[in-house]
Amino acid sequence: MDNTTLDGNAAGGILREIFPFEMTLVEETCAHCSTTRVVGELTVYMSAMGTVMRCPTCDNVLMRIVSTKGGCVSCISKQSPDTFTCPPGATLIRKT
């Protein structure tokens, strides 16, 4: 990592706006290389345009998060929500 990249824990605040539980502890499996890691270990790029989370093994984009001026937060995943493994007792709520 260089000084423009962060780990997944840096995205914890914005992830909390979307998900009803501590998302940095959730395991995600990369659809490209099949590596499973907790979200807190992913490579994160954050800027005013949004947040991009990538697999640290193959650099595949796993998730993009965008906030609008109106306060709306959107999570755009290139992968199915089924690739998330929720921590015990947590439920992934799909918002439509």
pLDDT in tens, 9-35: 999 988 888 888 888 998 888 989 999
3-state secondary structure of 9: helix
Place of tokens 């998900």: 19
CA distance 64 to 11: 11
Q: What is the CA radius of gyration of the chain?
A: 13
Q: Look up the pTM and report it.
A: 0.73
Kind plus residue range of the DSSP H or E element containing 92: none
**Torsion, Cα of 40, 60, 69, 71 (10° steps):** -40
| Residues in the chain with pLDDT values less than 70 | 1-3, 71-73, 75-96
Domain boundaries, the chain: 6-85
State CA 5 to chain mean position distance: 14
